[in-house]
Structure 1
């Protein structure tokens, strides 16, 4: 092979990137961190709400302990009141990917803002596709099973201090159309906090507003999960993305140690095989 041909060959080699897709509450972050520990990766957050500072419980940000020493990007870096646009996401993600690859590590993009991911991958000039080879993993849970889990998780978030956390962000003139205020859990509790702030003395009314707010948070989170499911299905069926389905439904039907065992088998091991083939084999 002469020098010119050899140079052309090197120019055509694409860098590799992993995407972890899925509806809210399916365990995308857990899988991304697991893969990062196995393949020398770093995680880039693709959740447009988690990119903001604050409301860690409401937005379900991964904790430092859960990160297991894995470097994370685009999480908790933007002021709460500032909008984080698709253009912002694409710019910052490309910058993060470049720095990760410069360190010889694997970029793993994980999060539920699928319109942002779509804009990154299928941009008009196809720059991303021409430069990067993508492996898409879809952590899927049957929606009826996921609904039950989402409702339970909201209750757990309330027990963990969600209400007090949101109360600190409440303002009578709050704008729920921008920044972190758009997060599910903030506008849903507005009527409850408004009753508190205006000194409503009818305890039954206040309690009812609280219960209605939590119920609305549950239903809105589930509706989000359904929309995310439909969008990923669109990627697969209409746009032709080669997406590897990891069915985690059985995981969510288990409890405790059995759930972890099921996750290791159905999600962790399956994804390991897919990513290994993607990175080191000819087919995936």
Structure 2
């Protein structure tokens, strides 16, 4: 298997933002490789972990930061987004920024060289398991946060077979409800109609905040030809905008078509993610649904302001109650 040691991303490392990500990645990798006797657990000694799930754009990262900074100060966050494990394309993959992390330790975020390795569920299980053990050894509370339910399933199920597929196909394999950790699942949910509108708006905001320039450099530097197509090459925005940037980045019709595809595929991703969450729930996973629909709806209207903050506080308070009850059990 290729080396798991990351190397700096192409020219992006020269910005302060990406230097920060690289430093955080180095710290994360150092923690992963610490030798610990707690790498395996039994039912009697299984650590407690918090898992924040949901579709892209639902508010998972924001909730994790609120929980970690305001209520559970010993928390450390483990990324479970399959595109965000790689360094590079921070805006396109919608990574949480260093500023937004608010000094909360983040693991497996922007760590791996996308030209050297593809992080599949089996590899993720091994890496995240070690990270959990290291956090627990420091008396920390692990928070698993991200939209890749295949990563979450591989990490948490007691017996994981990488050849089995519990999510896809006309006759998927049965979901195992036997978990190897004591888990508190928070499912941040937003109704599809509202979420789809928000995701389309978010794409426009990402394009305006530097996504176009980021992709221009990605294609122009030749990095696109080096990344693994089954890894970062699958990030939404890469394939959709390839024709535009490969053609010199001048055809506005091709640009508009690419942007429409980014929006459609973002909405399709959200739909698949929720479908997998429902599959886990039907398979016996005890998922606590927290509805953030009204928060997202208000963010897109003139009603915003204080009402959004108040509604978000309700989401946070509900989540805190769920976590407190879990930790007290």
Q: What interval of TM-score do these two structures reach, taking the shorter chain for normalisation?
A: 0.7 to 0.9
1:50 counterpart residue number: 84
- 3-state secondary structure, aligned to 2:218: coil
Asked if 2 retains the 8 angstrom alpha-carbon contact of 1:189 and 1:210, the reply is yes
Structure 1's 124 and 131: CA in aligned 2 closer, same or farther, altered over 3 A?
closer
Which ranges of 4 or more aligned residues in structure 1 deviate by more than 3 Å? Answer: 128-131, 171-176
Asked if 2 retains the 8 angstrom alpha-carbon contact of 1:23 and 1:229, the reply is yes
1:110 aligns with 2:145: yes
TM-score calculated relative to the size of structure 1: 0.87
1:3 counterpart residue number: none
2:182 counterpart residue number: 133
- 3-state secondary structure, aligned to 1:12: coil
1:96 counterpart residue number: 131
C-alpha deviation, 1:179, in angstroms: 2.4
Equivalent runs, 1:1-284 vs 2, <5 Å: 12-37=44-69, 38-39=71-72, 40-81=74-115, 82-124=117-159, 131-170=180-219, 171=222, 177-196=229-248, 206-237=251-282, 239-254=283-298, 255-265=304-314, 267-280=315-328, 282=329
- The structure carrying a bigger helix percent of its residues is 1
C-alpha deviation, 1:20, in angstroms: 0.3
Please list the CA deviations of residues 56-105 of structure 1 after superposition, one character each: whole Å capped at 9, or x if unmatched.
10011111111111100000100122211112111110111011001101
| Equivalent residues, number | 263
Please give the alpha-carbon distance, in whole angstroms, between the structure 2 residues aligned to 1:176 and 1:219. Answer: 23
Structure of higher CA gyration radius: 1
Asked if 2 retains the 8 angstrom alpha-carbon contact of 1:36 and 1:106, the reply is no
Asked if 2 retains the 8 angstrom alpha-carbon contact of 1:138 and 1:245, the reply is yes
C-alpha deviation, 1:125, in angstroms: 6.4
TM-score calculated relative to the size of structure 2: 0.76
Q: RMSD of the alignment, in Å?
A: 2.1
Unaligned runs of at least 5 residues, structure 1? 1-9, 198-202
Structure 1's 208 and 122: CA in aligned 2 closer, same or farther, altered over 3 A?
same
Please give the alpha-carbon distance, in whole angstroms, between the structure 1 residues aligned to 2:149 and 2:230. Answer: 18
Please give the alpha-carbon distance, in whole angstroms, between the structure 1 residues aligned to 2:225 and 2:297. Answer: 43
Asked if 1 retains the 8 angstrom alpha-carbon contact of 2:114 and 2:228, the reply is no
Structure 1's 125 and 216: CA in aligned 2 closer, same or farther, altered over 3 A?
closer
Unaligned runs of at least 5 residues, structure 2? 1-41, 162-176, 299-303
C-alpha deviation, 1:131, in angstroms: 4.5
Asked if 2 retains the 8 angstrom alpha-carbon contact of 1:16 and 1:133, the reply is yes
C-alpha deviation, 1:257, in angstroms: 2.7
Asked if 1 retains the 8 angstrom alpha-carbon contact of 2:156 and 2:179, the reply is no
Asked if 1 retains the 8 angstrom alpha-carbon contact of 2:78 and 2:143, the reply is yes
- 3-state secondary structure, aligned to 1:231: helix
